[in-house]
Structure 1
Amino acid sequence: MADNVYRTPAVQPPTVDKLRQIATKYGFGDTSEKDLQDYQVHISHLLKAYTKVSEYPEPTLPVNYPRTPGYRPGKEENKHNAWYYKSEIKGAPNGILSGKNVAIKDCIPVAGVPMMNGATMMEGYVPDIDATVVTRALDAGATIKGKAVCEFFCLSSGSSFTCGTGAILNPFDKTRSAGGSSNGCAVLLANGEVDLALAADQGGSIRLPASWCGVVGMKPTFGLVPYTGVATLEPTMDHVGPMARNAKDCALLLEAVAGCDGELDSRQRYDYTPPKYSEMLNGDLKGVKIGLVKEGFVGCEGEIDLLVKEAAMKLTAKGAVVEEVSISMHTDGAHIAVPVIAGGAYNHLILGNSGIGAKGYYPTGMISVGDRAMKSGYRELTPTLKKLLMLGEYVNETHGVKHYARSQNVSRLLAEAYDRVLGDYDVIVMPTIKFKPPKLPTGEPSIHEYLSAVFANIANVASFNVTGHPSLTVNAGFAEGLPVGMLICAKRFNDVMVLRVAHAHELIRDQK
């Protein structure tokens, strides 16, 4: 087609009436008819650029291994409601993950396998790409066993009853919460149905369900693992990380998926080469200094306080030095993180600005489906999402992005507070969650139950999303038969240290 032939714009030109509505909304509705017509002509001309871009085929992500869509398992093989879809995708014949079965959180696309991201509005969507972490796991020899459910658009860390497919049940007590939002992964691991899981964490979503389900969950250093292709919630806090039943397997999965993804994810550092994490866990902590963060224990249930402190003190048997430390700013860590989480969710999820402003690969199919689903079905949103929509609209109208921006700036002070202590200590430790998993609602949850649960348990975890420090939870024991997590955090890009400490703890905990 000749360059001078007119093409229908990908976005239809606006009418003068539509431009008048927009002008009125933003306070310049007194613009004359003639001026509006001039705006219309020039905007229509610019829209031709959208047509030109649409003529190019999009670069996509590789899909390298044969698969079938799989199936939705019935109740008999999904007793804790942790599976969304079961399928089987066999990876490379050899690799560090050979013989390992993996579940994928349902915010991470797997080509050809339905993806719902916990939301009824997304049901029926089938991705045509594999996220980079999926490809890397398969390249390392893993077998993917299917998609694990998650909370509605991954936005409820404190509950496990907002998913569109129903409540996810705690494997130790079906009447209690399994945490969120990566609860499907945590439950499948605890039940022994898979060996490993890949999940995402923006405010604790890996570590919280791992804690309440008694497994290992790790949020790596920000940017260590590529987020390429995964549903975004807040680009400055998006993390993909490994989950497993033990630190050694967690290290194997991290080793398989970590590292730079070219220029496909601007969250990453291009100059960093990850070590072989799995080869660095020997149980020896000689010379390792561990700081018990005093503020992280404030408000803890007594049994949880005792279990975590005892577990930490036992690490002296492996050569560690354990001392109490104070990081006063930790008390405000979740408060600093919430405006970023809420602002990101409003901007990228509610408004549909999925990842805008970042350099890299955009999963346009997923973005389009999510945007259409959101704009056609606000009534279908959970109370959690409706709260964030109303909060976002109110804050945006009254303060703009000031509080989001200020939280981002203050997060640097928080990071410096942790780094000062981590200059003297190799890791800092505290409880992952300060209380035992609560009972699930009986019957239809009330608005109060929805809204109370959303950020109820993030006090010790959300800080490290906004600062980017590596953070891992490992089971410290049981209180009234329910798992208690110990949170281990280290300097950025010292991910191996949290794995080393967790592994040493497991050797002590599990010795007969």
Structure 2
Amino acid sequence: MLPKPPTVERVAQIARGFGLDLTDDDARSFQGLIAGIMPLYERLESLPEETLPVSYPRTPGWRPEAADNPLNAWYWRCDIRGASEGILAGKTVAVKDNICVAGVPMMNGSALLEGYVPDHDATVVSRILDAGGVIAGKAACEDLCFSGASHTAATGPIRNPHNPDHSAGGSSGGSAALVASGAVDMALGGDQGGSIRTPSSWCGAYGLKPTWGLVPVSGSMPIAYSIDHCGPIADSVENVARLLTAIAGHDGWDTRTISARAGDYMGALEGDIDGLRIGVLKEGFGHPESGPEVDARVRAALKSFGALGAEIVDVSVPQHYDAPAVWTGVIVEGAAEMMLKGHGVGTNIPGFYPVTMQEAFARGFSTHLGDASETVKLVLLAGEYMNQAYANRYHSKAQNQRGLIRRAYDAVLESVDVLVMPTIPFTATRIPAADVEREVYVDLALNMQANTCPFDVTGHPAFTVPCSRIDGLPVGMMLVGRAFDEATLIRAAAAFERSTDWKSN
């Protein structure tokens, strides 16, 4: 398709939208100037396009019947087999449905993208297949991933395998539910405010948000460049280590990974933790919304570390309380510009742009935005208001605060190896009724992130490990480490896993 120059009337309309008053002669003049650069766009359209590779054969797969999808955790099923050997040989993997798998439908939980079929494999998908993994399907996720619970997906709520009346967590709820129910060995999740760790905590899975920039997101649908993370959810610490080994490392398409430093994650599994210094973060406990029993269960779990020779000390990072405000400033305007107004892709970032996804999302956005979830509408309206009323002032202030908060955690992590706190201050909430008030719907989608979103702001690695149950619902304990020191988190988590039966606590 060749680009066409605008009409004079369209130029005048665009100008009015910016408060620019053009005379008819002005509009005709600018129309001619714009028409003059169209040959360059025509040349651009004719150039061959480099894309992400598709290396293994596959069929489109199938949409599972309800009887085969009791938790509503699958969006689509497939069976894509890669290399015959590798660190993931024989392991089944679910791919969160904001990550492209060529030839397999993708909707990112949203009616706005329904019907889109990618023509490329995301880098992490290619790496899984190269490592011998089997892609078993696309895991359902929240509408454009903007919810920490599991009731906003266009395909219906995703249910917790421990109690189907309760949320699986979000936005990677399908990934965690499939892992925790035994449907797959491991899954890919995404995390911008807690979306790997929340569902892993609520479903009783192991979920690791890597250091920002360790795992590429090329070929995925982003939310906001500066806080997008991709990482593993698995049924054991070993499988987390295996999947992270396969997907971590520099990717030429993703500038976030320029400084990536992958570690020996498999070697970390057997290390002891004698002498490891574990800091119990004061500000991670006792939030207004905290369940006292959740706090108590996490503190009790810490005794296992002490019995294994770790030194347990209390630490404080007062800026932990500031991080949610900074996160809000970053993500609300960032998501409105990149994910929504940017047609699911955004602009001006060196990297891979999935053009067909951009076009599909733009069509959905322009024709049936009303079908989006209440959380997506809130982000669009709030982000655009802050843009128009305050010229993105608060987004800029939030970005400028990130270094200060990061250094506050870094200072404490100079004296301890790991920080510990509850992942989520309470266990999984009930899935709300379909006709619940908007205010309740939104609150249930966003009210759990006090301990998770700070580490999307700072980029530190954070690993949720199941440590107990309350009334049958899992409790997650979060381990936070130094940048690119995922190996220490894996070492600590593996030692805890070996020494503790969390289901009996």
TM-based fold match above 0.5: yes
Query: CA offsets, 1:318-362, max 9 Å, x none?
Result: 221111111101012111111211112100122125241211111
Identity of paired residues, percent?
43
Between 1:297-306 and 1:232-241, the stretch displaced more is 297-306
Q: Distance in 2 between matches of 1:153 and 1:48?
A: 36
Decide whether the 8 Å contact of 1:10 with 1:48 is kept in 2.
no
Q: Distance in 2 between matches of 1:453 and 1:355?
A: 28
Counterpart residue type for residue 322 of structure 2: D
Aligned to 2:480: 489
1:177 aligns with 2:167: yes
1:266 aligns with 2:258: no
Q: Distance in 2 between matches of 1:357 and 1:504?
A: 44
**What does 1:35-114 correspond to in 2, within 5 Å?**
35-114=26-105
Aligned to 1:200: 190
Shift of 1:273: 4.3
Q: Distance in 2 between matches of 1:434 and 1:273?
A: 31
1:378 aligns with 2:369: yes
Counterpart residue type for residue 417 of structure 1: A
Shift of 1:450: 1.9
Shift of 1:303: 1.1
Q: Distance in 1 between matches of 2:398 and 2:407?
A: 14
Aligned to 1:278: 266
Shift of 1:149: 0.2
**What does 1:224-263 correspond to in 2, within 5 Å?**
224-262=214-252
Query: CA offsets, 1:480-511, max 9 Å, x none?
Result: 11100001111111111111111111111139
Q: Distance in 1 between matches of 2:165 and 2:430?
A: 6
Shift of 1:372: 1.6
Q: Distance in 1 between matches of 2:434 and 2:243?
A: 38
Query: CA offsets, 1:198-244, max 9 Å, x none?
Result: 11111111100000000011110001011111101101111110110
Counterpart residue type for residue 15 of structure 1: T
Secondary structure of 2:266 counterpart: helix
1:12 aligns with 2:1: no
Between 1:315-324 and 1:444-453, the stretch displaced more is 444-453
Secondary structure of 1:145 counterpart: strand
Counterpart residue type for residue 285 of structure 2: F
Q: Distance in 1 between matches of 2:496 and 2:366?
A: 48
Q: Distance in 1 between matches of 2:313 and 2:282?
A: 10
Q: Distance in 1 between matches of 2:33 and 2:196?
A: 48
Decide whether the 8 Å contact of 2:150 with 2:170 is kept in 1.
yes
Secondary structure of 2:254 counterpart: coil
Secondary structure of 2:190 counterpart: strand
Given candidates 305, 313, 319, the residue that maps to 1:323 is 313
Q: Distance in 2 between matches of 1:176 and 1:418?
A: 33
Given candidates 266, 276, 290, the residue that maps to 1:288 is 276
Q: Distance in 1 between matches of 2:14 and 2:177?
A: 48
Aligned to 2:18: 26
Aligned to 1:351: 341
**What does 1:362-377 correspond to in 2, within 5 Å?**
362-377=353-368
Shift of 1:47: 2.6
Shift of 1:277: 0.7
Query: CA offsets, 1:44-95, max 9 Å, x none?
Result: 1123222111101210111111111111111111000000111101110010
Counterpart residue type for residue 274 of structure 1: A
Decide whether the 8 Å contact of 1:91 with 1:138 is kept in 2.
yes
Counterpart residue type for residue 449 of structure 1: V
Shift of 1:288: 1.1
Given candidates 446, 452, 456, the residue that maps to 2:443 is 452
1:473 aligns with 2:464: yes
Shift of 1:283: 4.5
Aligned to 1:144: 135
Secondary structure of 1:310 counterpart: helix
Decide whether the 8 Å contact of 2:298 with 2:467 is kept in 1.
yes
Decide whether the 8 Å contact of 2:263 with 2:486 is kept in 1.
no
Q: Distance in 2 between matches of 1:23 and 1:193?
A: 54
Decide whether the 8 Å contact of 2:150 with 2:445 is kept in 1.
no
Cα distance change on mapping 1:378 and 1:67 into 2, 3 Å: same
The alignment's C-alpha RMSD in Å is: 1.4
User: TM-score, with normalisation over the residues of structure 2?
Assistant: 0.97
Shift of 1:298: 1.8
Secondary structure of 1:261 counterpart: coil
Given candidates 301, 323, 330, the residue that maps to 1:311 is 301
Decide whether the 8 Å contact of 1:283 with 1:318 is kept in 2.
no
Counterpart residue type for residue 292 of structure 2: G
Shift of 1:113: 0.7
Decide whether the 8 Å contact of 1:94 with 1:140 is kept in 2.
yes
Secondary structure of 2:240 counterpart: helix
Shift of 1:121: 2.3
Decide whether the 8 Å contact of 1:10 with 1:47 is kept in 2.
no
Q: Distance in 2 between matches of 1:127 and 1:102?
A: 18
Decide whether the 8 Å contact of 2:109 with 2:141 is kept in 1.
yes
Query: CA offsets, 1:150-205, max 9 Å, x none?
Result: 00111111x21111111111111111111100000000001101001011111111
Q: Distance in 2 between matches of 1:369 and 1:488?
A: 39
User: TM-score, with normalisation over the residues of structure 1?
Assistant: 0.95
Counterpart residue type for residue 215 of structure 1: A
Secondary structure of 1:502 counterpart: helix
Q: Distance in 1 between matches of 2:489 and 2:359?
A: 38
Q: Distance in 2 between matches of 1:296 and 1:47?
A: 56
Shift of 1:133: 0.3
Shift of 1:443: 3.9
Secondary structure of 1:267 counterpart: helix
Q: Distance in 2 between matches of 1:21 and 1:53?
A: 26
Secondary structure of 2:60 counterpart: coil
Counterpart residue type for residue 383 of structure 1: E
